[in-house]
Amino acid sequence: MSGVRRGIGIDPGTKSFGICGLEGDRLFLDRSIPTADVSANPQALVDLLQAAAPLDMVVGPSGYGLPWIAARDLGPREMDLLLLSEERDSGRPAVIGGMRRMLDLLKESGLPIYFAPSVIHLPTVPPQRKVNRIDMGTADKLCAVALGIRDQSMRLNIDYEATSFIYVELGSAFSAVIAVENGQVADGFGGASGPMGYLAMGAMDGELAYLLGGFHKEVLCSGGMAHISGHPEAPPEELMARTRIDARCSLALEAFLESLVKCVCAATAIAPSPREILISGRLCRVEGFARVVVHRLSRFAPVHRVEGFARIAKEAAQGAALIAEGLAGGMHERLIDVMRLRDAGGSSLDHICVDGAESLRRKRLG
């Protein structure tokens, strides 16, 4: 029965964890914790959630996503599917950090924690678009899209079913582009298969992957704008300030922008008449950066930055809170129904058709 429910959403970002809580449409929790701190002491996250009890639902740090599995049901197989990591990545904090320990603690907490699907799990994305794809947009990117649907619906005073946009998430490491039509996700290009990010290269050339061989997962978080500039440790504010005086920084920015434009253009092949391009993420808050992104993308549709309702927690955490409150039977339940989130299913490996795919599935799925 619809009513007011208490839900929390968690966004496990590369640089920070966002935690957002909604009771109906009232914000009761708005926090951000450095990812390094969560990795070093994941119990702090559990303590924060327990202090906010009673809770009807928590959308947990879902990684590559699972279709609504409860934390209490997590086993080794489910953790592997959430993280998609290999044994060679264990003990490398830059990639996995304390995630497995955190998942164990969440499982033991007794809280109503569930893990959200990613774009590839959605029935609104037809199977031909999923072939040989894994990262079409991780669970946190899907949560950000939920916020985008609410944002456009409220701002333009239209029904959820009338929303239509290309969502561009420009995070501190990865970028993603997701196409939405009629309030439903139609296609997506995730951080490991789509546009260049600030740290991540985006889609990798197959020949490069072959030459690298069995590389660590943190390679996927390299090769982006910061690495091209020659200043991989520099914050985006510093890189933007250098673009007028440093040729490599200028090259890095241009490579990033062209990659983004090409990916948005590809998304319009599926969603040819978006009402808007919605942008969000860490880079959008960098002076001057949002301006050049808006300039490049305005050829496709009017560009609007997602406004949200929280001051601290990022867009993905806000969207996850909307989903948690709605799935628990709250006032945002209709958003869940329009997006068909309850109908998510399968695994991220179901549509792989290359040589070795069956061996991979047997290893990961049993």
CATH number for the domain spanning 158: value is: 3.30.420.40
| pLDDT in the model for residue 29 | 98
| pLDDT in the model for residue 214 | 84
Q: Is residue 344 part of a domain?
A: yes
What are the tokens at 5? 């429910």
What are the tokens at 236? 């985006």
Q: Is residue 115 part of a domain?
A: yes
The span from the CA of 193 to the CA of 355, in Å, is 19
| pLDDT in the model for residue 95 | 42
Complete edge-to-edge strand list for the sheet that includes strand 26-34: 26-34, 16-23, 6-12, 57-59, 113-115, 69-70
Tell me if 91 sits within 8 A of 217, measured CB to CB. Answer: no
Q: Is residue 1 part of a domain?
A: no
Ranges of the chain whose pLDDT falls below 50:
1, 94-95
Sign of CA dihedral 325, 331, 332, 334: positive
Q: What are the two backbone dihedrals, phi and then psi, of residue 113, each rounded to the nearest 5 degrees?
A: -100, 130
Domains in the chain, number: 1
Q: What is the DSSP letter of 125?
A: S
Tokens 């009629």 belong to: 182
| pLDDT in the model for residue 3 | 72
Q: Are strands 276-280 and 164-170 parallel, antiparallel or unpaired?
A: parallel
| pLDDT in the model for residue 87 | 65
Which structural domain range is residue 140 located in?
6-365
